[in-house]
Structure 1
């Protein structure tokens, strides 16, 4: 019963807020300027007034979808951009497109699969040789698979890429650089799908049994984990701002691959930029950022919409998640 109520309430809430209709309603309440595309450069007509010159920005999963929009935005505002990608060919193609659109040639590619912890460590070491500080890290990489996939290190790939490697390990390894920034911040790109569930036991979240795999829930578990992670790190590492956010229901290649014809239930869907825009604001805002919160369209959101306590974790459950993440990451 609890799961049925949770899923129903999530869908009703999503239809109101996560669609393009919700976006159009939300932007009417914005206090800061809004621009209509990611690639509008600082000082150009239609720009929002943000200048990120001198800022070092890292975006994972930066070669497509929401990640590419965020990378384009940072480059358009004059930031030094690092695109953290898995595929060299796709990364190079996206880099060239972003350079052409923004006229910013200070764009760099670092290659790693966020689901492979050894690759994350190697990539971070390479970055740390180049940069004494990081102003903004956007943890966006990952995908939703309907079949179970495993990394070379034996981790279920959705959990590893979204949460273990792509959010926890990556951000913890970069703490020296993030603390060196005057306004260091980390944004975990979560999903409204996390409203469906609490973070389950470690064994279920990681699909340790390799049985009864459900790709939708593997994704939701990892996304709920990102929201909890931002909450916990906001308390334990206050020198850095930690937020989670989600883009709403967007029309991207990843959504097409995951949902197919069922994406019709998410319509009217947002464009990639409409989904990314509120996250771009989090990358650059100098005021009003509430560490530990879960954002949509520039505003903190409730973290639970389900009946009763069905999606809420007890403090001891959250602590177990944090302890297990540390151990699994080898920290």
Structure 2
């Protein structure tokens, strides 16, 4: 309902006309011609995320920082390897970047899954904020009393540009070993935790058939770095069975780090001890029966060579 109403309303807006006043339904963003997909998010978290990124886009450092808890915070860029565990160090780092941002730079959400306890947020940092290209990231966010207590950002270095990603290495604080999930606990809805656990187990066991049983009839499987879009449980299950040795979030050595979200939208962070890609995220949209209607995987594609990506695509060819 939210999605349909929002799209109909936003389609009548003139280019560049999105404003705070227009965004009463929480589905458009100030200064960006984008419709935010909040169909699997509560109105509360959709509004919270929009305000959060509006302050960031306005280059209002104090306003942006006001969304973070002063008492408990973990903020990690999982690709760069930059981790911050207190409010002051995070502010100092973000201040460094913001002082060089272009005046028209934006950071805007495109899809939000979850509620005001925890959520998965798809967002875009436009070119100039962290390098010469855009970053399309997936943030795993935990909230407490509307304050962010934990945020882990995942993105694909190939989309950003491998050379651009390498330039950000100067800002690394060293490969983080503590991702702070124990500080916030597992607060995702039981339905989301159950599906995440069953899916992760099926993927770990290389059991594409069991994984397929978790998907709704018209389900969509997306892998962002591999540029894959597969529709329907049969095709999804067949692909997962054949690609088990290629996908970084499948096979032995994979595990669930942390689950977030509501009964209809969320996902989980995963780790992979036997892969060149050590971590990433799987976002999940569920229907009223608890079946997966959309799965979106995000990980750093720069950590694998071209041949792996070619193999992932080739494996999707149906006979």
Q: Under a length normalisation based on structure 2, what TM-score does the superposition of the two structures give?
A: 0.25
Higher strand share: 2
Q: Relative contact order (alpha carbons < 8 A, sep ≥ 6): 1 or 2 greater?
A: 1
Higher helix share: 1
